[in-house]
A and B are shown apart, each in its own frame.
Chain A
């Protein structure tokens, strides 16, 4: 453990994976909160408002964790990746600074109104503040993805003599073809998380025979969103995303699929363990010719294997990349199957009596978090060995004078803090779930109102 690049990578990976557990839930719930508030205003049914207040509470606690774990992300560009910041700051800092100017101010201001102002300012203002919080969290996602998209697919830049790049076309950076697909796919993933959490909690209430009226509402609203979002992740967004990778980063695609050799046609590996040393997949289960069809819509197309690329350009952790990608795709497929069956039962009015299906929906709750994390691991490991694809290698981006001992110190510190924060979050969530939405029914009682801010 004497390599500062490795420890800085571990620290960034750990802090961002942990951080993103929270925003994926808040971005998904933000949309569902707008849905609940809108249903309340249109139908005048107080139970929707009670549900919105309950989910507002869950949203607020999650949002706080997202904010506090998000602050280190912007700082780490400078603390650990100073050479990268100096190299590309002219471009990536544009989008990072825009996130602050356009998203953070918006969401923080309106979250204050959403949490503290329902009684003071009335229902319309409350609905509007929910909408603005939703726009703020999603705008934040856009700017951060624009930053990432530039690292995946650098555009709108020119190289300068002193080393480094500077921005030459602002709109090209903001309208990077990568960012739209990433945004569509990533936000879909957030909705999958938010809606699975809502559905799963509803299923729990129904199975436990508590708050059953709300349990049915959560399953109903959550499941419809979950089914739409799960399909959206496969088609069109997942499909286009993998076509983009095939076009721009064929070496990454070959590694994700575990394709060591060029084949005509190429089969798709469903399960198997990559053995990079011997360049083969152990214990493979393969669907013949399927990969050729999926990428090129042609059962006989040639698919390039890793062998055609120089080894120094291979992603540096092929097994992890392969597993991340397979976990993401596998779980995504399972989500579609679960939601379609459950939606069918809902339509036939049998879902609330099908306890086995409620069990499945409840137990599915943690898996979207895993799928989103695996998806991001695929994206970021697929970018390796580059920090900025094709322009700057990862080891060239690290801070020149920060020693590995200092980075290990802070990595251990983050690990300790995040462990405690995770426990706190878990305790608070268990309490909120125990109280349930029915604690929310009397908005005048002191202890019954949303007691938190953002």
Chain B
């Protein structure tokens, strides 16, 4: 049952990265591919009806994490205190920038929010990558299950008291940025036309090359830093499908991009992201939060909620997810196709 909830929480987080991922990526490139007010409105409209719903996945995943692994929630949220609050501030800034930009018709007002939209989207993505990097590297958990990390110490991942930022986690942060830029650029290509579309194609191509390089470097760094990550794959060889999915996805992004089939490229980058997330989850299992001192690690067994709670949760969670799936299919179908300024919206 604990393992099932581990999979479900990982699934929700992956859904979040897949869905909010493309609007974070769109936000990161929006300043560079959309050159005038009209084009920028088009980018915003392409995510307008869906970004809020996408973002609900992180809230829902946070709530699900809280009830299925209360000790993990308590330990990690207090241990990552500063970066988490900074993430909150970035989420706020980004939400406001999307919604408030078009309320006052002034180029200064619009430019300000465009800048905030870029800042919020790109920094959020980097912080998410850094967070994942911290989980992989391990955190200085004490025997009581708590820890507290400063933003940085000496930038070395082998420090017994590492900071949130070290060279390894910064690397994973940049990897996340590249991955979501590819994802978001493909989305913008699918949703727009003309010059905006051409510039987004170019952004997708360049970022794909960066992503290939960063994926290779980060993978090598991960296994040299945490060789035990490999043991999950040697113990349960079927898990190799997850990294394989990531590699195939990454290759297909390049292939479809080259062929100009960006809808397929968008789904391929989704496969890459899902493969990377699943590989990470698979490799750290049964830990949920590896510790610098391995015996202090939080695992699916010592951090989970009670058996009754997990069983009851499964009942309502299933109903909730079916409903959510219906809303999402409905809304993406309703708002399918290219966006134009003729429709209701920003």
Contacts of A18-42 to chain B: CB distance below 8 A:
none
Task: Identify which of B71, B100, B145, B317 gathers the most chain A CB atoms within 10 Å of its CB.
Answer: B100
Q: Is the interface of A mostly helix, strand, loop or mixed?
A: helix
The answer to whether A98 and B146 touch (CB under 8 A), given A86-B70, A89-B74, A417-B89, is no
Inter-subunit contact B49/A453 (CB<8 Å): yes
Chain A residue, CB-CB nearest to B73: A78
In the bound complex, residues from chain B placing their C-beta under 8 Å from that of A61 are: 99-100, 103
Inter-subunit contact A116/B49 (CB<8 Å): yes
Distance in angstroms from B139 CB to nearest chain A CB is 12
Inter-subunit contact B96/A424 (CB<8 Å): yes
Task: Say yes or no for B134: interface residue by CB 8 A criterion.
Answer: no
Distance in angstroms from A454 CB to nearest chain B CB is 5
Contacts of B267-286 to chain A: CB distance below 8 A:
none
Inter-subunit contact B324/A105 (CB<8 Å): yes
| 16 extra interface residue pairs, beta carbon distance < 8 Å, beyond A71-B92, A82-B74, A97-B60 | A71-B88, A83-B74, A89-B67, A97-B313, A99-B63, A100-B63, A105-B328, A108-B56, A109-B331, A112-B52, A112-B335, A399-B81, A401-B78, A449-B345, A453-B98, A453-B99
The answer to whether A79 and B84 touch (CB under 8 A), given A402-B78, A428-B103, is yes
Query: What separation, in Å, do the CA atoms of A340 and B319 have in the docked complex?
Result: 45
Q: Mark B49-70, 1 if CB is under 8 A from A, else 0.
A: 1111101100110111011001
Query: What separation, in Å, do the CA atoms of A185 and B88 have in the docked complex?
Result: 30
Inter-subunit contact B88/A75 (CB<8 Å): yes
- 18 example contacts (A-B, Cβ-Cβ < 8 A) are as follows A64-B96, A71-B92, A75-B77, A82-B77, A85-B77, A89-B74, A93-B63, A94-B313, A96-B67, A101-B319, A105-B53, A109-B53, A109-B330, A110-B327, A116-B48, A118-B344, A399-B81, A450-B344
Inter-subunit contact B331/A96 (CB<8 Å): no
Inter-subunit contact B321/A101 (CB<8 Å): yes
Inter-subunit contact A101/B60 (CB<8 Å): yes
Inter-subunit contact B345/A453 (CB<8 Å): yes
In the bound complex, residues from chain B placing their C-beta under 8 Å from that of A91 are: 309
Query: What separation, in Å, do the CA atoms of A77 and B92 have in the docked complex?
Result: 18
Task: Say yes or no for A113: interface residue by CB 8 A criterion.
Answer: yes
Which of A163-171, A201-209, A257-265, A274-282 faces chain B? A163-171
Chain A residue, CB-CB nearest to B312: A170
Query: What separation, in Å, do the CA atoms of A391 and B48 have in the docked complex?
Result: 45
Query: What separation, in Å, do the CA atoms of A110 and B328 have in the docked complex?
Result: 10
Task: Say yes or no for B341: interface residue by CB 8 A criterion.
Answer: yes
In the bound complex, residues from chain B placing their C-beta under 8 Å from that of A421 are: 92, 96
Inter-subunit contact B52/A90 (CB<8 Å): no
Task: Say yes or no for A451: interface residue by CB 8 A criterion.
Answer: yes
Distance in angstroms from A408 CB to nearest chain B CB is 12
Inter-subunit contact B102/A451 (CB<8 Å): yes
Chain B residue, CB-CB nearest to A398: B78
Query: What separation, in Å, do the CA atoms of A80 and B79 have in the docked complex?
Result: 10
Distance in angstroms from B205 CB to nearest chain A CB is 30
Task: Say yes or no for A313: interface residue by CB 8 A criterion.
Answer: no
In the bound complex, residues from chain B placing their C-beta under 8 Å from that of A354 are: none
Task: Say yes or no for A299: interface residue by CB 8 A criterion.
Answer: no
Inter-subunit contact A431/B67 (CB<8 Å): no
Chain B residue, CB-CB nearest to A447: B105
Q: Mark B314-342, 1 if CB is under 8 A from A, else 0.
A: 00110111011001101100110000010
Task: Say yes or no for A235: interface residue by CB 8 A criterion.
Answer: no
Chain A residue, CB-CB nearest to B345: A116
| CB contact between B74 and one of A78, A160, A410, A428 (< 8 Å): that residue | A78
In the bound complex, residues from chain B placing their C-beta under 8 Å from that of A170 are: 308, 312
Inter-subunit contact B53/A97 (CB<8 Å): no
Chain B residue, CB-CB nearest to A100: B60
Task: Say yes or no for B82: interface residue by CB 8 A criterion.
Answer: yes
Distance in angstroms from B63 CB to nearest chain A CB is 3
Task: Say yes or no for A321: interface residue by CB 8 A criterion.
Answer: no
Query: What separation, in Å, do the CA atoms of A454 and B54 have in the docked complex?
Result: 11
Inter-subunit contact A74/B334 (CB<8 Å): no
Inter-subunit contact A68/B323 (CB<8 Å): no
The answer to whether A104 and B306 touch (CB under 8 A), given A85-B66, A401-B146, A428-B103, is no
Inter-subunit contact A97/B66 (CB<8 Å): yes
Q: Mark B116-153, 1 if CB is under 8 A from A, else 0.
A: 00000000000000000000000000001111100000
In the bound complex, residues from chain A placing their C-beta under 8 Å from that of B313 are: 94, 97
Inter-subunit contact B344/A402 (CB<8 Å): no
Distance in angstroms from B112 CB to nearest chain A CB is 11
